[in-house]
Structure 1
Amino acid sequence: MKLPGKTVLVTGASRGIGRAIALELAHQGINRLLLVARNQINLADVAAEIDAMGVKVEVVILPLDLTDSVAVSRAIAQAWRDYGPIDLLINCAGIAHQTSFLQSKLSQVKDELSVNLIGTYNITRLVAKRMVKQKKGTIINVSSLMGKIAAPTMATYSATKFALLGFTQALRGELAPHKIRVMALLPSLTDTDMTRGLECFRFMKPVCPEKVAQALVMGLQKDTPEIVVGWQSHLALWCQRLAPWLMEQITAMAAPLSQKPPSIGSVVKMI
Structure 2
Amino acid sequence: MHFQSKTALVTGASRGIGRAIATELAQAGVSRLMLVARNQDQLQQLAIELTNAYPGLEAIVLPLDLTDPIAVNTTVAKAWRDYGPIHLLVNCAGVAHQNSFLKARLPEVHQEISLNLLGLYAITRCVARRMVSQQEGTIVNVSSLMGKVAAPTMATYSATKFAILGFSQALRGELANYNIRVVTLLPTLTDTDMVKDLQRFRWVRPMTAKRVAKTLLRGLRQNRTEILVGWQSHLAVWCQRLAPGLLDRILLLAVPQSV
Distance 1:237 1:56 in 2: 41
Residue pairs, 1:175-214, within 5 angstroms:
175-214=175-214
Return 5+ residue gaps in structure 1 as ranges.
Answer: 263-271
- The superposition leaves residues 142-187 of structure 1 with CA deviations (integer Å, 9 ceiling, x where unpaired) of 0000000000110000000000000000000000011100010000
Amino acid at match of 2:56: K
SS of 2:196's partner is helix
Counterpart residue identity of residue 96, structure 1: A
Where does residue 40 of structure 1 map in the other structure? 40
For the aligned residue pairs, the C-alpha RMSD in angstroms reads 0.8
Aligned to 1:156: 156
Distance 1:137 1:254 in 2: 40
Contact persistence 2:96–2:194 (CA under 8 A): no
Give the secondary-structure state (helix, strand or coil) at the position aligned to 1:98: coil
Q: Which has the higher contact order (CA 8 A, sep 6+)?
A: 1
Residue 111 of structure 1 corresponds to 111
Q: Match of 2:30?
A: 30
CA shift for structure 1 position 239: 0.7
Q: Give the alignment's TM-score, normalised by structure 2.
A: 0.98
Where structure 2 has 5 or more consecutive residues not aligned to the other structure, the ranges are none
The count of residues paired between Structure 1 and Structure 2 equals 259
Contact 1:35/1:61 (<8 A) preserved: yes
Match of 2:9 in 1: 9
CA distance in 2 between counterparts of 1:6 and 1:110 reads: 35
- Which runs of structure 1 show a deviation greater than 3 angstroms over 4 or more consecutive aligned residues? none
CA positional deviation for 1:227: 0.4
Check whether the contact 1:29–1:56 (CA below 8 A) recurs between aligned residues: no
- 1:119-268 maps to which residues of 2 (within 5 A)? 119-256=119-256, 259=257, 261-262=258-259
- Following the alignment from structure 2 to structure 1, what is the Cα–Cα distance between the partners of residues 233 and 56? 35
Aligned to 1:51: 51
CA distance in 2, matches of 1:199, 1:193: 13
Which amino acid in 2 is paired with 1:139? I
Partner of 1:95: 95
**Partners of 2:66 and 2:54 in 1: CA distance:** 30
Percent same amino acid at aligned positions?
61
How far is 1:223 from its partner?
2.6
- Distance of 2:111 and 2:196 partners within structure 1: 21
Deviation at 1:197, TM superposition (A): 1.9
List per-residue Cα deviations over 1:40-71 (Å, max 9, x = no partner).
01111111221231342100010000011111
